[in-house]
Amino acid sequence: MTLHREGHTILISSAIMMMIINGATYYWLGPNSWIFMTVLALCIILYILFLQFFRYPTRDQTISDKHLIAPCDGKLVVIEEVYEPEYYKEKRLQISIFMSPINVHANWYPASGRVSYVRYHKGKYLVAWHPKASTENERSTIVIEKDNKTSVLLRQVAGALAKRIVYYPHENDKVRQGAEMGFIKFGSRVDIYLPLGTKVHAKLGQKTVGGVTVIADF
C-alpha cells in the first residue's frame, strides 16, 4: 500500500498546518490543557482519515479484452437505460458506481482503446446520488473506442464533498485497461454508458473493486 501522488501536497500542507495549530495551543495553554489534548486528538484523527483516503493499493488486476472492468471502488447504485445528451445523444445503458469517502478514490481505465473525446465541465456539488448530478455537477467525460468501433463513455462526477476532479487522458491517447485514469477527491461517483443490450455481470448493490471486478461484456 502506498500513497497516491494526488495527495502529496494536501498531506504535506495539512501536516504543517496541524503542527502550527498544535504548537500554538501547546504554547499558550500548556500540555495539560484539555483544549490542547482535544485539538491534538482531532488533528491526529483527521490526518489518519486523509492518509486512508489517499491510499493507493497494489492489486492483481483483471485484464480481458472481452470484459469491461470496474473503473473504481464503490457500490453499484444504478443500472438503467437513459438518454445520454452530451456525446451519443441517444439512449444508452448507464451503470453508476458511488464512491464513499472511505473508498479508494483512484480511477482506472475499464477497457483498452483510443480516447476519442475528453471534456471537463464546471458545475454544482449536489450529493453524488442525486438524479441531476450527472448533468449539473462538476464532471469530466471520457470516451474510449475499441478497435471494432465499440465505445464506452465514462463520467467522473463530483459530489457534495468532492471539490476537484483529476483526469489524465487527452484525445487520441492510446490507453490500456487497468492503467490509471484519474482521481476524484473526497466522495463522488463514476458513470459508465454502454450500448443498449450489453450483457451486464454486476448487480445493483454490489461492491466493486477498481481494476478487478467484471462489470459487463465489452
Among all residues, which ones are annotated catalytic?
188
DSSP state of 58: -
CA atoms of 86 and 94, how far apart (whole Å) = 14
Q: What angle do CA 115, 155, 194 make, to 5 degrees?
A: 75
Residue 174 β-bridge partners: 114
Do residues 25 and 39 touch, judged by C-beta distance below 8 A? yes
CA atoms of 27 and 20, how far apart (whole Å) = 10
- Placement of cell 500500500 in the chain: 1
Cβ-Cβ contacts under 8 Å for 74 (sequence gap 6 or more): 97, 98, 99, 100, 103, 189, 190, 207, 208
CA atoms of 97 and 188, how far apart (whole Å) = 9
